[in-house]
Amino acid sequence: MDKISISKNPCFGFCPTYTIDILKNGKIYLNAKDHVKNNLKGNYTSELTAEGKKTLASLNLTGLKEKYGERNISDLPSTDVEISFTGGTVQKTNDYGNHGTKELEKLYAFIDSLIENQKWEKVND
């Protein structure tokens, strides 16, 4: 995996809204918009730990569908996931409700943990 981008989309309530990019080399970029843990807002950068790289590599994120979720229910949180694989293949997924697959749920928990526990360096906007 060369890059993974995750965008948490807004809802009418207090859904966290942000975009996070994790590069193959472990560099992390966070654009925190609204309702993000630790009151983060703005652009941040950090570095994935060896353990974090191992956790991310252990997830099976190949073969995801383009869309997940029950769209007849209004105002559920949603997440866009874009994965760039070595070789140029790009996989895009929209997960309405954030329960697409067990592996996606593990990915979201991993990202939540990163946002909450990572040491973030503020980048000038």
If DSSP codes are grouped into helix, strand and coil, which group holds residue 73? Answer: coil
CATH number of 3-117: 3.30.1560
pTM of the model: 0.92
Note the pLDDT tens digit of each residue in 7-62. 999 988 899 999 999 999 999 999 999 999 999 999 999 999 999 999 999 999 99
CA-based angle 60:56:33, to the nearest 5?
Answer: 110
Domain boundaries, the chain: 3-117
State what percent of residues in the chain have pLDDT above 70.
Answer: 99
Asked if the model's pLDDT at residue 71 lies above 90, the reply is no
